[in-house]
Amino acid sequence: MISDVFSAVLVLTGSLLALTAALGLVRFPDTLSRMHAATKPQTFGLTLVLAGTLIRIAGHPDGGMLVLTALFMLITAPVIAQRVGRLVYREQRGSGGKLMDESQLHVQHRDGPGA
Amino acid sequence: MNVVWAVSGVMLLTAVLLTLYRSLRGPTTLDRLVGIDTLIALTICGLAIWVAATYDTTIVPGIVALSLVSFIGTVSVARFRVRDDE
């Protein structure tokens, strides 16, 4: 009974974080701001929901796969954020947005896809 | 207890609709990419909530596969994408 309440609280908090991520994705003005809104609840909210599910099905052998999923998302989300954020920074810093301060950063600008 | 799963499902559905709006509207392809990445994370959340609500663990391997495939998809698009202004 206590564990049911605990898992319900975890799942509800995770869903609320996912909702805030979606709200930030719609409301924020810039691609980098949208990434900031999207990536963190993606990892933390997903981990909360998976933890709640894990408590709910405790003892079942499939619980290890949920741990594995949380681990995969925690490993891959920074990689995705780095690749996409690098592209966003390279392509949109001169386009009148909030990324105009290039003078102190000295980022090399190479041509070619992705790299 | 059913109320909890229903409320979580409604919140996730709202999040999916908002994310879908950004994916369809988004001015650049990178906005769409971020939106679709978020959409897959929301799908994983929904499947996990389904598992918690029904004790039906047949889709748990699907959750693991989805988390890996989403990584490959997003990184591939970020690598082989063509710039918007070309």
pLDDT tens digits, residue range A23-65? 999 988 888 888 888 888 888 999 999 999 999 888 888 888 9
Query: Is this complex scored with an ipTM above 0.90?
Result: no
How many CB atoms within 10 Å of residue A9?
Answer: 14
What is the distance in angstroms between the Cα of A107 and the nearest Cα belonging to chain B?
A: 19
**Residue contact B79–A23, C-beta within 8 A:** no
pTM across the whole model? 0.84
Contacts of A93 in chain B (CB under 8 A): none
**Residue contact B30–A15, C-beta within 8 A:** no
Give just the sign of the alpha carbon dihedral A21, A27, A31, A33.
Answer: negative
| Token pair 């949208």 in the structure block, residue | A34
| Residues A22, B19: Cα–Cα separation, whole Å | 5
Contacts of A57 in chain B (CB under 8 A): 51-52, 55, 57
pLDDT tens digits, residue range A65-75? 999 999 999 99
Cβ–Cβ under 8 Å, residues B5 and B56: no
Contacts of A8 in chain B (CB under 8 A): 1, 4
- DSSP tag of A112: S
User: CA A5, A6, A12, A17: dihedral to nearest 10 degrees?
Assistant: 170
